[in-house]
Amino acid sequence: SAEGQAVLDFLYENDEISNTGDFASAAGIDHELVVNVIKSFSARRIVDAQDIKTEKYVLTDEGKPYAVDGSPECRFFLAVPPEGISPDALQMDPALYKIGRTQAFRNKWVGVENSLLRRKVNCNLNPMVHYLILNDQSMNGLSTIFCLCVLKFGLYDLYLIKILRLSTFCRTWKGFSVRKGPEYTRDHKKGPTDITRDHILSGEWKNLKFNQFNCNAQGKYVEGGHLHPLLKVREQFRKIFLEMGFEEMPTNNYVESSFWNFDALFQPQQHPARDSHDTFFLKVPSTTKQLPEDYVERVKNVHESGGYGSKGYNYEWKRDEAEKNLLRTHTTAVSSRMLYLLAQKPSFPKRYFSIDRVFRNEAVDRTHLAEFHQIEGVICDHGLSLADLIKVLKDFFARLGMSKLRFKPAYNPYTSPSMEIFSYHEGFKKWVEVGNSGMFRPEMLRPMGLPEDITVIAWGLSLERPTMILYGYDNIRDLFGHKVNLKLIKENQICRLGIK
Ligand code: PHE
């Protein structure tokens, strides 16, 4: 730039620019432009610049017209005649009127008496002195105060005015004294910041003088890594389980065979849940052939003719049906695999949990989706009873802030007894269903090979329900699925389970 070159040229002939203000006015350049150039040169070490500390003030943009025509409060004061005037009759530009009135009232120059605007101070001075006389660009600090003093009605007022208005009307003047820096050259071209493909192809990069990166520049605010509410709540559930000594089960198989999802859980093959109206079956690959054969045999037997004190279902169990692939309908499919594995390498007690996605072929409405998340807890130990289940449920739900629980007998093909869990919701003032639970049946555990005195208690709940309650959603589609507002993910709050 011309200003930049003027600075470099001057420093070529002279040791220093002792004051950029003087330099700018001698060269007929706007001082602001010189200051910008010096800042940029100084960052690139082309010049060394020292701040000049001064008490000088210069007008701000807002202050400039006031310096010519007077401050709004002075003009407002002058517009009010000594005998007073009705506010409607006062003629003044509305914007000026607003600021002027506020300031003049604040200064107690003008007040309201019998609904007339009236002067509250006498002004015997020439009205001209009421104008803000900040028209001298190089006025120093002392004369600024002085000028303002002249216009006012006593030193005390004046002082206040200075403090109130100085920052809007004028600001301190900033300048530099400047010397050559280590990178000084007379004809300085701004170098490139980044190397380009062309620089490399042409070989030009060898001679280029690259701009230094300014590592002190303020970085861009990085926006990212926002967690969805479901993930936040999942993390809290995970913590609760871990605190209670549970291990997480591997849930990384959305596709499961009917065998592990249903048959291993003693769910009969004619059960309505196994209909394609309720379950998504896979077309490709439609079946799983590899199943643990001797276990399959025991499962077949228990379905067909019972055992372990059970009569079984008395139907012909079909391997084809068990081989059908599906999207798992509950995380209990994961638990059945884990319990089978545990039976191969017995070690008790064991506490397992899982939190992951499940799928059901269901009509979608404000409380149901075709895919959602289940939370499941499983405990295996010698001689566990229903009382143990109730105790652990009370402990678990208390950690979620639900301390009033009720249990209702229920039915699951794989648990007996089974209980639905209800919690009293203080906000809704009613009992809401929060989960399902039970003791796994011997028809499920014994064919796996788990010892006879081992009982397994388990419970399950959805992740969506507590998340909706916590975050105040009444439509599940606002939380999950293609209709979710993406802003939700950026703007959702931190809500903690168990804290109201
Ligand atoms: N699998 C059950 C469901 O999908 C929940 C449950 C888990 C019930 C464990 C009892 C024991 O609702």
Mean pLDDT of 147-155: 38
pLDDT at 128: 32
Q: Is 412 in the pocket of ligand 1 (CB under 6 A)?
A: yes
- The answer, yes or no, to whether residue 143 has pLDDT greater than 70, is no
- Percent over 70 (pLDDT), the chain: 85
Residue nearest to atom 9 of ligand 1 (CA): 459
Give the span between the Cα atoms of 329 and 323, in whole angstroms.
15
Closest CA to 328 of 256, 272, 377: 256
Burial class (CB in 10 A: 0-12, 13-18, 19+), 453: exposed
Structural domains in the chain?
58-172 (no CATH), 230-253+331-491 (3.30.930.10)
pLDDT in tens, 414-465: 999 999 999 988 878 889 899 999 999 999 999 999 999 999 999 999 999 8
Could you tell me the pLDDT band of residue 258, with boundaries at 50, 70 and 90? very high
Mean pLDDT of 182-187: 85
Q: Residues 361, 276: contact at Cβ < 8 Å?
A: yes
Q: Is 437 in the pocket of ligand 1 (CB under 6 A)?
A: yes
Query: Minimum mean pLDDT among 301-310, 337-346, 486-495: which range?
Result: 486-495
Q: Is 332 in the pocket of ligand 1 (CB under 6 A)?
A: yes
Q: Residues 434, 423: contact at Cβ < 8 Å?
A: yes
**Do strands 57-59 and 405-412 pair parallel, antiparallel, or not at all (unpaired)?**
unpaired
- 275 CA distance to ligand 1 centroid (A)? 18
The model's pTM is 0.59
Could you tell me the pLDDT band of residue 171, with boundaries at 50, 70 and 90? low
pLDDT at 155: 35
Give the span between the Cα atoms of 243 and 246, in whole angstroms.
7
- What count of other Cβ atoms lies within 10 Å of the Cβ of residue 225? 5
- Which atom of ligand 1 is closest in space to residue 437's alpha carbon? 10
- The answer, yes or no, to whether residue 346 has pLDDT greater than 80, is yes
Which residue from 251, 380, 392, 412 has its CB within 8 A of the most atoms of ligand 1, so it is best to mutate? 412
Burial class (CB in 10 A: 0-12, 13-18, 19+), 224: exposed
Higher pLDDT, 147 or 290: 290
Q: Is 333 in the pocket of ligand 1 (CB under 6 A)?
A: no
- The answer, yes or no, to whether residue 332 has pLDDT greater than 90, is yes
- The answer, yes or no, to whether residue 110 has pLDDT greater than 90, is no
Which residue from 265, 326, 330, 354 has its CB within 8 A of the most atoms of ligand 1, so it is best to mutate? 330
- 437 CA distance to ligand 1 centroid (A)? 6
Could you tell me the pLDDT band of residue 57, with boundaries at 50, 70 and 90? low
Give the span between the Cα atoms of 267 and 273, in whole angstroms.
9
